[in-house]
Chain A
Amino acid sequence: MNKLPVIVGLFAVAQTSAHAHHSFPAVYDSSQPVAVTGKITRVEWFNPHIWFYVEVTEPDGEVTEWGFSSAPPGVLMRRGITKDVLQIGAVVNVEGFRARDGSNNASGGRVTLPDGRNVFTASSEDAVPDSND
């Protein structure tokens, strides 16, 4: 199941200051932005990048699971972001870029609540920790 629930045309998560244990193009396709809304089903708060999974219900009722990669745990924690921000069962919007293999996996750069409040913004390629943090 590879169809995208939502594709956003004007989506930009900062990649200019990219840094990860891999280069962004080695894993993700910047020409394939994705945005989904769904329920968090799993969280893997591990190195080299955290992963979290979102269950998305398509308009036709079909349910798919998307996996999103973000920054390393240490980088997030130094920003004051702990794994408690990703509660199982919470509904979130996630924006990112799809994996190069076309699977339902992506770099998840921005996570927001349905009312627009920010959960965190930290992609797998973020430059962190900022020395000015």
Chain B
Amino acid sequence: MKNRIRSAVAAAFLSLASLAAAQPSGGAGFEPPRTGNGKPDFSGFWSQPQHVESVGRGATTFTKDKMPPFVPGGEELFYEPRTGDPRHDEPRAFCMPSGFPSAFFGPYPVQIVQTDDWLVMVTEFERATRLIPLDGRPHREGIESTFYGDPVGHWEGDTLVIDSRNYKRWSLDDYYYVNPEEYRMHSDAFRTIERLRWVDASTLSYEFTVEDPKIFTESWTEDLQMTLHPEWESTGLYEFVCQENNRCPGGDCSSP
């Protein structure tokens, strides 16, 4: 009888534990770490943002089914034709940057370092770095567009919202690893909005909204997540200098 009671108690405990693990942000029993000013602290080593069903399956790419219709002329901008010139068709083979979000969506660790006023996000891939002010400053004006855009962050409760704009026209994602015939670009009107919040002790919800009014009629949002990997702290991010020994760029192994 005692054994039955113990089993019933254990089963009830396990059920409660499962329920707790499934709780959304702010769920019972979970209190996120916080910085000195009381905001959630995302510092640590994380997997790249991924679709839940695609964990461990390579680079994160955007879901075609979620993309809204094209504006007139948008499809031509989105699928810029390949020319056969590898410097145009695959500039990354020549160590050109991946840009955001592509660099941070590859299957490499992402380290976040956070203070009251800044969040620094670094990916191991080419050691690309984003410096995101959290002090309420506006976007910078009058600067040239960039591969990684101009991010600023603000808080909506325990959710960090990162708004980035002023991107240079560049590749949208790594979908061409799946289908080399489909090389997706974003325009210089590209804008991204990230929403980060703790879900449980090892998971961040990472909503990613894309706006690109020169290509799409409206925005769309991908529901992604990042997973904490404390075991990566022992080595940190490994160095990744693309120019160190980039042999065979564009398929030409005779190139110096």
Contact = CB atoms under 8 A, between A and B. Distances in A.
Interface of A: 16-19, 21-28, 44, 46-49, 51, 67, 69, 72-75, 77-78, 99-101, 103, 105, 125, 127-133
Contact of A129 (B86, B95, B109): B109
B59 A19 contact: yes
Contacts of A74: 108, 124, 237-240
Interface stretch (B3-11, B32-40, B241-249): B241-249
A101 B56 contact: no
B252 A131 contact: no
A27 B90 CA distance: 10
The B contact surface, by secondary structure, is loop
Nearest to B109: A129
Interface string B151-172: 0000000000000000000000
Interface residues of B, number: 47
Interface of B: 47, 50, 55-59, 86, 89-90, 92-93, 95, 98, 106-109, 124-126, 174, 176-178, 180, 227, 229, 232, 235, 237-242, 244-254
Contact of B58 (A18, A51, A69): A18
A27 B98 CA distance: 17
Given A47-B239, A74-B238, A74-B239, A21 B125 contact: yes
Contact of B177 (A19, A69, A101): A19
Contacts of B253: 67, 99, 101, 103, 105
Contacts of B249: 22, 27
Contacts of B126: 21, 48
A16 B58 CA distance: 9
B90 A78 contact: no
B229 to A, nearest CB: 7
Q: Top 10 nearest A-B pairs by Cβ distance?
A: A74-B238, A127-B58, A100-B251, A22-B93, A17-B58, A46-B245, A26-B90, A131-B47, A130-B56, A105-B253
